[in-house]
Amino acid sequence: MVQVSLKDGSVKEFEAGISVLDVAKSISEGLARSIVAASVNGETVGLDYKINEDADLNLFKFEDAEGRDVFSHTSAHILAQALKRLYPEVKLAIGPSIENGFYYDIDLDHRLVPEDLEKIEAEMKKIAKEDLAIERFELPRDEAIKMMQEQGEDYKVELITDLPEGEVISFYKQGDFTDLCRGPHLQSTKKVKAVKLLNVAGAYWRGDEKNKMLQRIYGISFEKNKDLEAYLHFIEEAKKRDHRKIGKELDLFMIPDEGIGFPLFLPRGMELKNELMKYWREVHKRYGYVEIETPIILNRHLWETSGHWFHYKENMYTLKIDEEDYAIKPMNCPGVFIYYKHKPHSYRDFPMRVGEVGRVHRHELSGALHGLMRVRAFTQDDAHIFMLPEQIKDEIKGVVSLIDEIYSTFGFEYHLELSTRPEDSMGTDEEWATAEDGLREALEELKLPYVLNEGDGAFYGPKIDFHLKDCIGRTWQCGTIQLDMQLPQRFDATYIGEDGEKHRPVMIHRVALGSIERFIGILIENYAGKFPVWISPVQVKVLPISEKYNDYARQVEKVLYDRGIRVEVDDRAETTGFKIREAQLEKVPYMIVVGEKEVADGSISVRSRDDGELGNVKLEDFIAKVEAKIQSRENVVFED
């Protein structure tokens, strides 16, 4: 008999050799129908897995990450089988599951086009309806190689040949199709009822540009068609919100050919960025931070002390000055130790909260660059807090409160993840226990739920990550709080304690927005360019109905400008309707139309982006309304 411990804490006893599926059936037939995978003692397995010893068992549905992974992996095999049926000459490379679906790399002389993807999709759906059983088997290395050679699968032969001695070589068979795979998989093809092949891209075999370029087919799959339709709608919505497209339409930024990966912010984009940083500084001053600016270029000695020269150099831009090696900083934290050590400190100086809006540069591969989301030069809203061990909990609570305030201002929901000590780590057990307890207790006292990621902390300390959710459900990892036990030692940072002796401070690294450029990209996509009034690059457009009223429009503009409102006049020789449509496309919060009546009354006619026509009002009343929205930093209702 074996003892099986379930996720709810219950323990059941079964005959040894019982399958995961039969355990599920013993609980509920409905549960057995809904699960797609499981984990036994932390290892993800298929439903046919036999339990032969006492075990912890988790059952996964499609909605669970582990379940989706197995579902997508099986979908990749169905794609490969469909390809083999339609193009018998195709050679298969690899077909993993990925965060959003799956892909398969193939070697095929015929260049696939959208019409081909439709045919392959239809064949995949046919395979799903055939309800083919999926069976696992293993072969010795020689037999595995021989079988793949007979099938003409050169890439599989290479994969098997490169496996280390003693590695189990397993295959999965469904109908007349067999593929090399570690698994696990679904029990049959029938669950993959809804599938969509998204696109084809090029990919070098094993990611090496010296190897042959293969075709990579991306796909997504679901249990139900309604879920697929919802996902495709999500994809279309995401395309409409693409920050690169909207950034160009609203004239916010560009990525020049002369500097690929180095964003150039245009005047309107700078208005947005400056307003964001004005808010950042206001919040940080209120929370007791000082602000510094460390040099962008620092010498090799600093980067050797921090460890970056030996462990991060391939991502750094280096240069020589006066025959000495220097590097452009890829992060701000080493520079803050120059500030810390420029004078001695005592325990009375703590906590020291030091902020820096620092420009950093990292060498990213060109293929990884993506608008403002992945660049080679960006601005980090860094802060470093030096403190006593007994201050950890209160400081963590303060940082969480600050980041919560910032995210709430933009209407973002978020969840927290706490990552603890990894196997490869620096520091003593006592230091780690103190650090982890400080983070955990702070979250619990704040009554904030969190996901625990055991062993996923940085090698120098545990961390809390903030994953914010935008208005169409995407999550973005932005804020981070990391406890560091290594850099204070490497830089020999000390303070004089109450006992008159030298001690080492505890250090927190933290960011709220992360990369300012990336956060702006997130805001563009979240609001679809329809920014709240307070952060909108242009808050008001003044539209004279003809050139006769341009002087009055300029008078209105000056009054607004003098009150700190970002305003533009559109005095082009175009119709009023055309100007209004242009301002709407630019998503300007307010449009002021002026003509004969407004000049005679000394008034303005106002149209709101969000509320429609507001009618004829006094300029001072309008200014008071706009100023109230700016001062309150009122958020907008997200577009559907």
Mean pLDDT of 287-313: 93
Per-residue pLDDT band for 637 (boundaries 50, 70, 90) equals low
Residue 312: Cβ within 10 Å count: 15
To the nearest whole percent, how much of the chain has pLDDT over 70?
Answer: 99
pLDDT > 90: percent of the chain: 84
Confidence of residue 200 (pLDDT cuts 50, 70, 90): very high
Residue range 66-232 forms a domain whose CATH class is alpha beta
**3-class DSSP state of 379:** strand
Tokens standing for residue 97: 């599951």
| Average pLDDT value for residue range 200-204 | 94
- pLDDT tens across 607-631, in order? 999 999 999 999 999 999 999 999 9
Q: Is the dihedral of CA 119, 125, 131, 135 positive or negative?
A: positive
What pTM was computed for the model?
Answer: 0.81
Clarify whether 333 is annotated catalytic: yes
**pLDDT band per the 50, 70, 90 thresholds, residue 420:** very high
Task: Measure the CA–CA gap between 320 and 433, rounded to whole angstroms.
Answer: 43
Of 557, 562, 560, 558, nearest in space to 544 by CA: 557
**What are 346's two structure tokens?**
């005592």
DSSP SS3 for 505? coil
Active site residue 363: no
Q: How confident is the model at residue 76 (pLDDT cuts 50, 70, 90)?
A: very high
The runs of H, that is alpha helices, within 466-535 are 487-490, 516-527
The catalytic position among 362, 510, 579, 607 is 362
Fold of the 253-294+329-527 domain: BirA Bifunctional Protein; domain 2 (3.30.930)
Catalytic site residue from 382, 465, 570, 571:
382
Among 156, 216, 329, 333, the active-site one is 333
Taking the C-alpha atoms of residue 552 and residue 540, their distance in angstroms, rounded to an integer, is 15
Active-site annotation holds for 477 = no
Summarised one tens digit per residue, pLDDT across range 109-132 is: 999 999 999 999 999 999 999 999
Q: How confident is the model at residue 425 (pLDDT cuts 50, 70, 90)?
A: confident
- Name the active-site residue from 81, 174, 187, 380: 380
- For domain 533-632, give the fold: Rossmann fold (3.40.50)
What CATH fold (topology level) applies to the domain 2-61?
Answer: Ubiquitin-like (UB roll) (3.10.20)
Q: Which of the residues 384, 421, 440, 587 is marked catalytic?
A: 384
Query: Could you tell me the residue ranges of all domains in the chain?
Result: 2-61, 66-232, 253-294+329-527, 533-632
pLDDT of residue 461: 83
For residue 361, indicate whether it is catalytic.
Answer: no
Q: What whole-number distance in Å separates Cα of residue 171 and Cα of residue 49?
A: 15
Instruction: Spell out a b/e string for 575-598, using b for 16 or more CB atoms within 10 Å of the CB, else e.
Output: ebeebbebbeebbbbbbbbbbeeb
Whether the predicted pLDDT of 303 surpasses 80: yes
pLDDT in tens, 255-273: 999 999 999 999 999 999 9
**Rounded distance, CA 92 to CA 606, Å?**
63
Give residue-wise pLDDT tens across range 345-366. Answer: 999 999 999 999 999 999 998 8
Region 302-327 average pLDDT: 93
1-43 per-position pLDDT tens digit? 899 999 888 999 999 999 999 999 999 999 999 999 999 999 9
Question: Taking the CB of residue 230, how many other CB atoms lie within 10 A of it?
Answer: 13
Is pLDDT above 60 for 638?
no
Give the confidence band of 166 by pLDDT, cuts at 50, 70, 90. confident
Instruction: Look up 329 and say whether it is catalytic.
Output: no
pLDDT at 340 over 90: yes
Selecting among 463, 541, 587, 629, the annotated active-site residue is 463
Amino acid identity at 403:
I
pLDDT band at 278 (very low <50, low <70, confident <90, very high): very high
Residue 286 has pLDDT above 70, yes or no: yes
Q: What is the reported pLDDT for 192?
A: 96
Q: What is the pLDDT of residues 480-497, one digit of tens each?
A: 999 887 889 899 999 999
pLDDT of the residue at 640: 42
In the predicted structure, residue 394 carries a pLDDT above the cut 80: yes
pLDDT of the residue at 483: 87
What is the rounded CA–CA span in Å between residue 421 and residue 456? Answer: 7
Residue 190 has pLDDT above 80, yes or no: yes
What average pLDDT does the structure give for the chain? Answer: 93
**Does 362 participate in catalysis according to the annotation?**
yes
**382 a catalytic residue:** yes
Phi then psi for residue 621, to 5 deg, are -65, -40
